[in-house]
Chains A and B, each alone.
Chain A
Amino acid sequence: DVKVTQSSRYLVKRTGEKVFLECVQDMDHENMFWYRQDPGLGLRLIYFSYDVKMKEKGDIPEGYSVSREKKERFSLILESASTNQTSMYLCASSFFLRRAGGHEQFFGPGTRLTVL
């Protein structure tokens, strides 16, 4: 069974704090993704990575950075948290699209981040 885990289910931080969200997958997936999900806006891609140390900007990368030092781990960093970054953050992983099974993304349970 594929498992994607995220370091926290709920997190409360203050404006200006540096925030780390960790994601780990155990299926040897090449691709990893960070999304945020907000009511009415759906899932929006922040960053994705298709290999160790590789990263690509998604639709809303401003205010975020990422790190992928190991294949199984993908971290999302909020350098200086702001109230408009209050959201549900979802991590996902998949094989390469052209690989068998690559069309399916597996999601972690999400981290509900509140920035006060």
Chain B
Amino acid sequence: RKEVEQDPGPFNVPEGATVAFNCTYSNSASQSFFWYRQDCRKEPKLLMSVYSSGNEDGRFTAQLNRASQYISLLIRDSKLSDSATYLCVVIPNTGNQFYFGTGTSLTVIP
């Protein structure tokens, strides 16, 4: 079973829409959770951390549900510039390894 699983999409949404992605993880002892963003033909970059209490950064909201072992990313008022692949990342409570999901592709259309 994969450590991290994501719906690959693609998600095609109009500008201004709200879109949400989920990501499930298999190791209940996982400790840290993040969302990375990868633009086309570019390297991944950290978008935001995911805290147990949920956290918000402008139009982006990340949440963690430990009981069901998933993390989510909500994007409100989508912009054309939000078009990218969003990768969830899980770090176990041991070791130095990061586990990346396969990514969810988002295209925001005018």
CA distance A97 to B32 in the complex (A): 10
Per-residue contact bits, chain B 45-56, to A (CB 8 Å; 1 contact, 0 not): 110010000000
Are A105 and B98 interface neighbours, CB within 8 A? yes
Contact yes or no, A107 B49, CB < 8 A: no
Asked if B96 is at the interface (CB within 8 A of a chain A CB), the reply is: yes
Q: How many residues of A contact B (CB 8 A)?
A: 23
- B96 with A31: CB separation less than 8 A: yes
For the complex, count residues of B whose C-beta is within 8 A of A.
Answer: 18
Q: Choose one: A40, A90, A94; the contact of B102 (CB below 8 Å).
A: A40
Which B residues lie within 8 Å of A96 (CB)?
96
Interface pair B46/A43, CB less than 8 Å apart: no
- Is the C-beta of A77 less than 8 angstroms from some C-beta in chain B? no
The answer to whether A103 and B97 have CB atoms under 8 Å apart is no
**Are A103 and B44 closer than 8 Å at their CB atoms?**
no
Contact between A40 and B8 (Cβ–Cβ < 8 Å)?
yes
- Distance in angstroms from A27 CB to nearest chain B CB is 14
Provide the residues of chain B in CB contact with A107, threshold 8 Å.
43-45
Is A61 part of the contact surface with B, judged by Cβ < 8 Å? no
